[in-house]
């Protein structure tokens, strides 16, 4: 079953305006799912991750309602049909 | 095993051990020759393949009579163990020869030609190597290349993940992928079968590694490595790698097999052409193509024309572009550009007749270097961040603090100073940037300490008279100078205080806030320190305190008059603890005798309750006569003087915190012409400049 990414407004210029992106694949982990997302939409890659491949400090990724920071990071398993949200954190000045 | 006879070969000694098995020196007792004998490790994959298969492969490979291919003589089985008898090659692996800094380009070309020649022969015979890597290439004492293990990879499957590779976590789908991860082509990672072009990818990786000592796609985990292979563009290889060789490597490393060379013989021809110094023109595919452009429709633009004074203001929440006639009395304001992004660095670059504005933008989605050729109406919005730390550094870009165009006669050269402290360089007008390793690898680097603004390299000065000499300044690291174009750097802080260290005059570690030099007298530099104002008259060999009579020697910016090397401007603040204008009076201080004495300039500046701060890049001058000077403050006010600082007036207030101010006069083509060029991408530009032409073909899209 496809998984779905929810794309925030700031990144939609890289998804042709799409707020939802379905990936017809069964990635095992969030890392694999992100890899699949940025093969489709390469511009998202550097916005979400640093050049070292880590999720940026002030960006959060949720699988369902769980922030992956507390569920194993990029190794967090992705259940079939999962909804993954990319959300900027509450921060800044 | 020593002393045993396999087939008709007696095992003499163990030579080595790899992922595939153990290799022995042996003696063929029938043909009376030394041979190498490889006994394959038993693995699940190996057990799945039949001896018949291996035999077939070995037969095919043994037909590859070629001076650069290690010949396979025989394959057999004894006591359930498979072994291969092959030509004994004595030499060092290319991996072992390369070391950490890479081989000289001549050697890379000499070996590259032989490897390509071996591949061309194999591909002609329908054989794909599938596991070409530096460890599989041996160079004999005579300089002859021997490519090992042809045609074996396919049958051995995942077993060939050898020792260095296994230090990375094994790929999830390793069982379906054959090869060594850093050399595997993207199409194989995506599940496509390997073909000749996958070998050409691996050849690109081998050449990159041989030329630089580094893998083009690295990482600490297989996820990072695969992600890099699929998405990343490797860091550019600059001097001493000739551009022709770099172009060949890039084409081998095109993500799409269709965009690579299609035949090994084409790579061979290209490498030979570079060898004979013929120019190789290749259009390099991939992400290095022009970045998309975003038009700023909802932003008010200043209508910049030829002869205008241009003012660039970077703030913590966006950028502004202002214009005025040379009267400098009324200002037309464009912006804010990059809503909500911090813009710590801006630059105007009019070398080669272009009108390019550069800006660094930072927000939670990362830091980007962007440019505009139409005074802000549209900006590049690269998919991949152009300035980025290579994977092997383990570092991530936090901010770009300085954008410095190169010398006038090198219009495609620019530098960026970044946080964490490092220097980047482009030699192609900003299409590709590379880390200057000479500074990054400096032994002092681990002992530099972050200041209030992070550990930043914030100032880059080029000596206009000596192309090999440049200076950089780091908070807190101090001033460093190169005399060889960036390969080596020395700390140049003699006489500069470090109040926060037990030794007040250390070799390095000073918190230098800004340095400046005068182009007509480049041996002279001025320095505003974290406590202390200094001058050097000997290329920063030593510094003299010149804080004679100023209310505080704490401050951030220092500006040299563009026509008078004795005239310098600073903006002192009260102290480290209270970084605000002394006594609530905003005063710029000027010396006209190289620091022997200073005078306050305050007419028109707020002199009551003005607890203003002017940060290191928020003081700038235009090139006009009399000099125009511009000051941006933390409270978002922008002041200007058009009489060298005698009197001041406020241009703007209510801005976000101003962190960068740059001023210039727009020369050359009129603004109208420039805008027309930008809006009609298909028309030929009058300028012959390559990068400008390529930008004109970019797609415009609504942002």
User: What tokens does B522 get?
Assistant: 């480049």
Please give the residue range of the domain that contains residue B65. 5-87
Pair B264, B140 in one domain: yes
Determine, for residues B391 and A52 on separate chains, whether the beta-carbon distance falls below 8 Å.
Answer: yes
Pair B110, B58 in one domain: no
Residue B105: the pLDDT is 86
pLDDT per residue as tens digits for the range B139-158: 988 788 999 877 565 533 33
Last residue of a domain, one of B209, B242, B275: B275
pLDDT range class, residue B351, cuts 50, 70, 90: very high
Q: Please check the confidence at residue B528 and state whether its pLDDT lies above 80.
A: yes
pLDDT per residue as tens digits for the range B196-225: 899 999 999 999 999 999 999 988 888 889
The minimal CB distance from B366 to the residues A42, A53, A56 is found for A56
Q: Does residue A64 belong to any structural domain of this protein?
A: yes
Pair B352, B374 in one domain: yes
Q: Which domain CATH number covers B25?
A: 3.30.200.20
Q: Please check the confidence at residue B700 and state whether its pLDDT lies above 50.
A: no
Please report which helix (H) or strand (E) contains residue B115, including its range: helix B105-124
Pair B143, B262 in one domain: yes
Average confidence score pLDDT of chain B: 85
Q: What is the mean pLDDT of residues B558-582?
A: 96
pLDDT per residue as tens digits for the range B16-55: 876 667 889 999 988 888 998 888 776 554 555 555 656 6
Determine, for residues B223 and A31 on separate chains, whether the beta-carbon distance falls below 8 Å.
Answer: yes
Q: How far apart are CA B180 and CA B95, in angstroms?
A: 14
Which residues in chain B are contacts of A89 at CB distance < 8 A?
A: 364
Pair B327, B426 in one domain: yes
Minimum mean pLDDT range among B169-183, B215-229, B352-366, B369-383: B169-183
Residue B229: the pLDDT is 94
pLDDT per residue as tens digits for the range A9-27: 999 988 888 899 998 878 8
Last residue of a domain, one of B56, B87, B118: B87
By C-alpha distance, the chain B residue nearest A42 is: B383
Specify whether the CB–CB gap between B632 and B616 falls below 8 A.
no
Q: Does residue B572 belong to any structural domain of this protein?
A: no
Q: Does residue A93 belong to any structural domain of this protein?
A: no
Q: Does residue A18 belong to any structural domain of this protein?
A: yes
Which residues in chain B are contacts of A13 at CB distance < 8 A?
A: 294, 381, 701, 703
Determine, for residues B223 and A74 on separate chains, whether the beta-carbon distance falls below 8 Å.
Answer: yes
Q: Is A89 in CB contact (< 8 Å) with chain B?
A: yes
Q: Percentage of residues in chain A with pLDDT exceeding 70?
A: 97
Which residues in chain B are contacts of A59 at CB distance < 8 A?
A: 364-365
Q: At what angle do helices B105-124 and B264-275 cross, to 10 degrees?
A: 160
**Cα–Cα nearest to B91, from B150, B146, B27, B38:** B146
The minimal CB distance from A46 to the residues B219, B385, B395 is found for B385
Q: What is the mean pLDDT of residues B106-116?
A: 92
pLDDT per residue as tens digits for the range B71-97: 888 877 777 778 888 888 888 899 999
pLDDT per residue as tens digits for the range A42-52: 889 999 999 88
Q: Does residue A49 belong to any structural domain of this protein?
A: yes
DSSP assignment of A17-77 equals: T-SEEEE-S--SBHHHHHHHHHHH-THHHHHHB-TTSPBPTTEEEEETTEEGGGTTGGG-B
Determine, for residues B703 and A13 on separate chains, whether the beta-carbon distance falls below 8 Å.
Answer: yes
Which residues in chain A are contacts of B383 at CB distance < 8 A?
A: 14, 42-43, 45-46
Pair B353, B426 in one domain: yes
Q: Percentage of residues in chain B with pLDDT exceeding 70?
A: 85
Pair B461, B315 in one domain: yes
Pair B271, B352 in one domain: no
Please give the residue range of the domain that contains residue A41. 3-88
Q: What is the mean pLDDT of residues B167-193?
A: 64
Pair B341, B416 in one domain: yes
The arrangement of strands across the sheet holding B21-28 comes to: B5-6, B9-17, B21-28, B33-40, B81-87, B72-78
Which residues in chain A are contacts of B223 at CB distance < 8 A?
A: 31-32, 35, 53, 74
Pair B396, B444 in one domain: yes
The minimal CB distance from A59 to the residues B364, B388, B389 is found for B364
Residue B448: the pLDDT is 94
As a whole number of Å, the end-to-end CA separation of chain B is 70
State the total domains in chain A.
1
Distance from B656 to chain A by nearest Cα, in Å?
11
**Most confident stretch, B44-48, B273-277, B376-380, B449-453:** B376-380
Q: Which residues of chain B have a Cβ shorter than 8 Å from any chain A Cβ?
A: 172, 190, 219, 221, 223-224, 226-228, 230-231, 287, 294, 316, 364-366, 381, 383-385, 388-391, 394-397, 701, 703
pLDDT range class, residue B697, cuts 50, 70, 90: very low
State the total domains in chain B.
3
Last residue of a domain, one of B64, B87, B110: B87
**Cα–Cα nearest to B410, from B364, B456, B359, B468:** B468
Pair B346, B477 in one domain: yes
Q: Does residue B616 belong to any structural domain of this protein?
A: yes
pLDDT range class, residue B183, cuts 50, 70, 90: very high
Q: Which domain CATH number covers A35?
A: 3.10.20.30
Minimum mean pLDDT range among A43-47, B47-51, B270-274, B600-604: B47-51
Pair B533, B426 in one domain: yes
The minimal CB distance from B396 to the residues A28, A51, A89 is found for A51
The single-letter DSSP state of residue B437 is H
By C-alpha distance, the chain B residue nearest A55 is: B365
Predicted complex ipTM: 0.94
Q: Percentage of residues in chain A with pLDDT exceeding 90?
A: 44
Specify whether the CB–CB gap between B303 and B323 falls below 8 A.
yes
Q: Please check the confidence at residue B692 and state whether its pLDDT lies above 50.
A: no
């Amino acid at each position: 079953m496809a998984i779905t990414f929810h794309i925030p407004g700031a990144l939609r210029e890289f998804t042709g305006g799409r707020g939802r992106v379905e990936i017809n694949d069964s990635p095992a982990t969030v890392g694999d799912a992100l890899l699949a997302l940025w093969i489709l939409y390469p511009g998202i890659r550097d916005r979400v991750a640093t050049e070292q491949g880590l999720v940026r400090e002030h960006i959060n990724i949720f699988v369902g309602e769980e922030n992956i920071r507390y569920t194993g990071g990029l190794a967090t398993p992705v259940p079939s049909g999962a909804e993954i949200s990319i959300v900027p954190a509450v921060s800044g000045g | 095993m020593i002393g045993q006879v396999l087939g008709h070969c007696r095992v003499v000694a163990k030579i080595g051990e790899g992922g595939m098995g153990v290799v022995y020196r042996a003696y063929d007792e029938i043909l009376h020759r030394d041979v190498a004998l490889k006994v394959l490790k038993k693995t699940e994959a190996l057990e799945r393949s039949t001896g018949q298969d291996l035999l077939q492969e070995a037969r095919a490979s043994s037909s590859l009579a070629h001076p650069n291919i290690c010949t396979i003589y025989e394959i057999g089985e004894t006591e359930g163990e498979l072994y291969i008898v092959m030509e004994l090659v004595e030499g060092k692996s290319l991996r072992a020869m390369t070391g950490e800094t890479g081989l000289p380009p001549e050697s890379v070309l000499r070996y590259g030609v032989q490897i390509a020649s071996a591949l061309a022969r194999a591909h002609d015979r329908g054989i794909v190597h599938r596991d070409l890597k530096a460890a599989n290439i041996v160079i004999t004492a005579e300089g002859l290349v021997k490519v090992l293990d042809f045609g074996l990879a396919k049958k051995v499957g995942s077993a060939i993940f050898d020792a260095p590779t296994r230090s990375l976590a094994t790929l999830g789908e390793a069982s379906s992928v054959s090869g060594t991860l850093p050399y595997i082509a993207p199409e194989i990672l995506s599940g496509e079968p390997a073909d000749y072009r996958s070998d050409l990818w691996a050849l690109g990786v081998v050449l990159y590694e041989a030329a630089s000592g580094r893998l083009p796609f690295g990482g600490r985990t297989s996820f990072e490595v695969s992600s890099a292979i699929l998405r990343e563009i490797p860091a550019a290889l600059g001097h001493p790698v000739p551009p022709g060789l770099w172009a060949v490597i890039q084409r081998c490393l095109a993500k799409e097999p269709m965009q690579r060379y299609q035949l090994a013989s084409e790579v061979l021809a290209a490498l030979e052409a570079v060898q004979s110094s013929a120019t190789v023109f290749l259009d390099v595919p991939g992400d290095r193509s022009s970045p998309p452009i975003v038009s700023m429709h909802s932003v008010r633009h200043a209508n910049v024309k030829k002869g205008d004074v241009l003012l660039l203001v970077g703030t913590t929440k966006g950028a502004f572009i202002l214009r005025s006639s040379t009267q400098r009395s009324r200002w037309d304001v464009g912006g804010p550009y990059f809503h909500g992004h911090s813009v710590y660095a801006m630059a105007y670059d009019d070398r080669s007749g272009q009108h390019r504005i550069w800006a660094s933008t930072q927000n939670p989605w990362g830091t980007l270097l962007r440019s505009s050729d139409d005074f802000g109406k549209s900006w590049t919005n690269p998919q991949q961040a152009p300035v980025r730390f290579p994977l092997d550094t383990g570092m991530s870009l936090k901010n770009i603090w300085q954008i410095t165009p190169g010398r006038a006669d090198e219009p495609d050269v620019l530098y960026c100073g970044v946080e964490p402290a490092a220097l980047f360089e482009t030699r192609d007008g900003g299409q590709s940037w590379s880390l200057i390793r000479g500074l990054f690898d400096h032994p002092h680097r681990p002992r530099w300490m972050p200041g209030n603004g992070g550990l930043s390299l914030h100032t880059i000065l080029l000596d206009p008279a000596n192309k090999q000499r440049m200076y950089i300044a780091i908070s807190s690291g101090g001033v460093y100078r190169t005399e060889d174009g960036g390969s080596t750097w020395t700390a140049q802080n003699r006489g500069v205080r470090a109040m926060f260290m037990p030794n007040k005059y250390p070799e390095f570690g000073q918190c230098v806030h800004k340095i400046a030099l005068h182009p007509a007298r480049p041996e002279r530099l001025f320095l505003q320190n974290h406590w202390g104002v200094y001058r050097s008259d000997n290329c920063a060999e030593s510094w003299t305190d010149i804080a004679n009579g100023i209310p505080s020697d704490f401050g951030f910016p220092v500006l040299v008059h563009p026509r008078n090397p004795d005239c310098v401007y600073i903006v002192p603040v009260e102290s480290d603890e209270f970084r605000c204008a002394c006594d609530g009076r905003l005063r710029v201080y000027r010396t006209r005798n190289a620091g022997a004495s200073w005078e306050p300039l305050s007419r028109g500046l707020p002199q009551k309750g003005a607890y203003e701060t002017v940060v290191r890049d928020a003081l700038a001058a235009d090139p006009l006569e009399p000099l125009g000077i511009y000051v941006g403050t933390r409270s978002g006010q922008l002041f200007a003087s058009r009489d060298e600082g005698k009197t001041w007036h406020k241009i703007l207030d209510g801005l976000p915190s101003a962190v960068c101010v740059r001023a210039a006069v727009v020369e050359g083509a009129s603004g109208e012409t420039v805008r027309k060029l930008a809006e009609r991408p298909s028309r030929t530009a009058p300028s012959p400049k390559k990068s400008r032409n390529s930008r004109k073909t970019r797609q415009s899209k609504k942002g």
